[in-house]
A and B are shown apart, each in its own frame.
Chain A
């Protein structure tokens, strides 16, 4: 059994465990897990950019915002998307976000490094500005309250049912993104991340690869937004503000960039600290800030790199010769 297949099996086992255990826990935990799963899709979409294409976006919340606002506006104004047409809203949310990413990508994808960070920040702020100020459409600072969750044969108002629906979307998203990064397209993205000029010389249209990745990430961001709107029951500028984009970025790095599931772990850890620890102690934000700083300083590969580190340390203890080999790999 190859190591990659072993990892997939571990992820499947963990997902099965979540699907089995969470519904039998408290309703607080079910809601927390639902939130984490919905937000994870956004984080994984960012990991697609950061971990594979090497593009650190500071405006990923914009796509969550488009999906979420679309859902809320359709639901409150047109009572659309509260029955079987929920599926259409999902498709439309993904499409609209992808369309926005297609426009933003034209401006952003050419930039690299710090400039990419800055331009995505600016673009994200554009969306936030509209959400915050365009009162007649978005409800301004107050946001929009959603009427109720969709009902189509099953009632999503039931928290366990809704959990399974979000869980389903999460698993499908993860599978699609995993397939994508394992495909030749994903491999080329990694190549571009590692050395773009070389990929260009080899004849790859690197701009187009990054542009497509940007659009795909936008689409998944939109999906995350549609689910988030119904999870939270309210959509507000808070969802598209700079700190939400920063959160997504930190969760990606906390979990481990380039791992996809790492993003989900990062999201779960952060939301757990923010929503559970904050009910216990008032200084929870020190913990969060501290965790970020420690991970960035001492664990650049994120939480997902811990097993690898332990393995490497064990190997180093066994054979000092392996040490130089590991160093050479780095």
Chain B
């Protein structure tokens, strides 16, 4: 276990964290704005990967697959929010169960449309190379993932902090009732945030498909990890999601490399402890 081991594991952890940020930031925003525990978030991730595959098979373009998959899943999320979640009103249990019901439907639909075979999403040839930095072989694709997460993070931050819409979102997170009182259309914001969350998850699915693959069951594998990100970072906070994603990505990689037998335990036990001590997460808004 020399310096190379630590560097490579750190790099892998950070790049996995980059992927987790895409999934976690959406989930965190959804939770912050709507207080919904969205158990179909993993399905959005999986569907994103599958839709991208279809686009790649038919049009042969990875570049086209990314936006098409993201927008398709965003529309699915939007419809789900408008038609099913909104009329339910505020009842955490029923909302959770409804999203699970949909997760099961999506699972079966994915099985019917894309069969049960595992697939890989091949990124463009330019991204399959690796570069050598200081004697370390770093796959370009993982660097690309980190770049995407940074870009998305920056865009989200600008939106949240510098635009009127972002201010409205933050107001809704802090106190939805007051936000409505000053004339913010919280219903519209919920809808858009839900769609945005689905879009980010689908984006994660396409990009993650390049190294995780796309296979049945990935939805419910990704879901708890995404929740770990949200909880450790703090619900409804973008910066929290970024730090949470980084921590979970690193913990996951080092856990699997150093003590494989308890690796998931080392991920979820801190999550439970943080929730018990500080329910809003490390960086969440009170």
Contact = CB atoms under 8 A, between A and B. Distances in A.
A126 to B, nearest CB: 4
A125 B93 contact: no
A126 B271 CA distance: 9
A122 B228 contact: yes
A94 interface: no
B213 to A, nearest CB: 17
B233 to A, nearest CB: 13
Interface stretch (A84-92, A108-116, A154-162, A180-188): A108-116
Given A122-B228, A285-B108, A297 B275 contact: no
A136 interface: yes
A159 to B, nearest CB: 30
Contact of A292 (B100, B109, B227): B100
Contacts of A122: 227-228, 231, 268, 271-272, 275
A200 interface: no
Interface stretch (A67-75, A127-135, A205-213, A315-323): A127-135
Contacts of A121: 224, 227
Interface stretch (A31-39, A168-176, A243-251): A243-251
A66 to B, nearest CB: 14
A283 B263 CA distance: 36
B57 interface: no
Contacts, number: 132
Given A56-B96, A113-B92, A119-B275, A128 B228 contact: no
B264 interface: yes
Please classify how large the interface on chain A is, using the bins under 10, 10 to 19, 20 to 34, 35 or more. 35 or more
Contacts of B276: 106-108, 110-111, 119
A296 interface: yes
B88 A129 contact: no
B34 to A, nearest CB: 10
Contacts of B94: 296, 300
B272 A249 contact: no
B265 A129 contact: yes
A132 B227 CA distance: 19
B100 A250 contact: yes
A123 interface: yes
Contacts of A283: 108, 112
B265 A130 contact: yes
Interface in B63-95: 84, 87-88, 92-94
Interface in A248-282: 249-250, 253, 282
A117 B102 contact: no
A293 interface: yes
A147 interface: no
Identify the interface centre among A128, A242, A249: most chain B CB within 10 Å of its CB: A242
Contacts of A197: none
A285 B107 contact: yes
A286 interface: yes
Given A56-B93, A285-B108, A292-B101, A297 B84 contact: yes
Contacts of A132: 264
Contacts of B35: 114
Please classify how large the interface on chain B is, using the bins under 10, 10 to 19, 20 to 34, 35 or more. 35 or more
Contacts of A134: 261-262
Given A117-B92, A122-B228, A107 B272 contact: yes
A133 B108 CA distance: 27
A114 B92 contact: yes
Contacts of B88: 296-297
A30 interface: no
A122 B87 CA distance: 29
B144 to A, nearest CB: 30
Contacts of B220: 241-243
A106 B102 CA distance: 33
Interface in A278-316: 282-283, 285-286, 288-290, 292-293, 296-297, 300
Interface of A: 50, 56, 58, 104, 106-108, 110-111, 113-115, 117-119, 121-123, 125-126, 128-130, 132-136, 241-243, 246, 249-250, 253, 282-283, 285-286, 288-290, 292-293, 296-297, 300
Interface of B: 31, 35, 37, 39, 84, 87-88, 92-94, 96-98, 100-102, 104-105, 107-109, 111-112, 220, 223-224, 227-228, 231, 260-265, 267-269, 271-273, 275-276, 279
Given A253-B93, A290-B101, A297-B87, 15 more contacts: A107-B272, A107-B273, A113-B92, A115-B279, A117-B96, A122-B231, A122-B268, A133-B261, A133-B263, A133-B264, A133-B265, A135-B261, A250-B97, A293-B105, A297-B88
28 contacts: A58-B96, A114-B35, A115-B275, A117-B37, A117-B92, A117-B96, A118-B231, A118-B275, A119-B275, A119-B279, A122-B271, A125-B228, A125-B271, A129-B265, A133-B262, A133-B265, A242-B220, A242-B224, A249-B97, A253-B97, A283-B108, A285-B104, A285-B108, A286-B105, A289-B101, A293-B102, A293-B105, A296-B88
